[in-house]
Amino acid sequence: MFKSNRSKTVATLVGGAILGSAATVAVVFLLPFFSGDSAKDWRAGIPSNVLDTKSETTGKSIAVQRLEDILQFEKDFERRAALFGLLMSATEDGLIEYLDQSKEFDSPSIESAIIQKLASLNPQIAIDHVSTLPMSRQYDLVTAIFEEISLSNLDQARNLALALDQTLQQAALQGILRARHKYSDDLMLDIAKDLNQEIYAVSYLAKAVVFQPSKILR
């Protein structure tokens, strides 16, 4: 059972979420439940020993030294593994350089992964970089940044979200909610209230419960 009245509010919305349109359900199905389940996530669940293997198509090592080398691999998994390996030990300066290089690739997933890794080292620098981009690109990147921050320091994520322009606070909250498996629903709702986004958070959490039967049956 949920621990508080506000958590119970999430549960009461489950029925409505189940009865939603097929389009809504399709979107909800894509909501990440754990860190590392998204192709845009630099921690994409790829074991480090994969980097010791060779590509099935090129015969070359998955471990690369340059960002551009990722594009030599034809399979998406191999590209993600190569990117994971490259970012895993990257420094802040190296990541900033990769961001500049990524402009040539026109790949939102590569840019998002670099930004998310940068956020793990220096959240403010990552936020500052995103603020220079067109607004149409900022939302998803802010979400990636705040997912990363929340996984390691939820208080910092809350404070940085409060300092954002209001137009991006929902994007920040979405990232925070993606880290919800580490925290209670009550804590998530407290942060949402601080951001004046409590209705959005309740809806998000209710939809997530639809695809977590174990929570519904407790």
Residue pLDDT, tens place only, 136-150: 999 999 999 999 999
pLDDT(189) > 90: yes
Residues 116 and 127 in one domain: no
57 in any annotated domain:
yes
Mean pLDDT of the chain: 77
Whether the Cβ atoms of residue 176 and residue 154 lie closer than 8 Å to each other: yes
Question: Where is 198: in which H helix or E strand?
Answer: helix 198-210
Q: How far apart are CA 86 and CA 64, in angstroms?
A: 6
Residues 40 and 116 in one domain: yes
213 in any annotated domain:
no
146 in any annotated domain:
yes
Residues 135 and 104 in one domain: no
Residues 92 and 172 in one domain: no
- Strand pairing partners for 54? 61
pLDDT(99) > 60: yes
* pTM of the model as a whole: 0.73
82 in any annotated domain:
yes
One-character DSSP codes across 26-89:
HHHHTS-SSTT-STT-TT-S--GGGGGSB-TTT-SBS--SSGGGGGG--SHHHHHHHHHHHHHT
Work out how many domains the chain is built from and give that number.
2
Domain that holds residue 6: 1-21+123-208
pLDDT(131) > 90: yes
- Strand pairing partners for 61? 54
Residues 133 and 89 in one domain: no
| pLDDT given for residue 95 in this prediction | 95
pLDDT band at residue 15 using 50, 70 and 90 as cut-offs: very low
Residue pLDDT, tens place only, 40-91: 444 544 555 665 677 677 777 777 888 988 888 878 888 888 888 888 889 9
216 in any annotated domain:
no
Look at residues 73, 101, 121 and tell me which one is the last residue of a structural domain: 121
Residues 76 and 117 in one domain: yes
**How large is the average pLDDT for residues 198-205?**
93
In angstroms and rounded to an integer, the radius of gyration of the C-alpha atoms of the chain is 19
**217/171: higher pLDDT:** 171
134 in any annotated domain:
yes
**How large is the average pLDDT for residues 159-167?**
96
Residues 127 and 170 in one domain: yes
Look at residues 100, 121, 142 and tell me which one is the last residue of a structural domain: 121
| pLDDT given for residue 50 in this prediction | 60
Look at residues 121, 137, 167 and tell me which one is the last residue of a structural domain: 121
CA distances from 205 to 76, 86, 123, 156 (A): 30, 34, 25, 21
Angle between helices 92-102 and 108-121 (to 10 degrees): 160
Residues 65 and 89 in one domain: yes
102 in any annotated domain:
yes
Residues 66 and 117 in one domain: yes
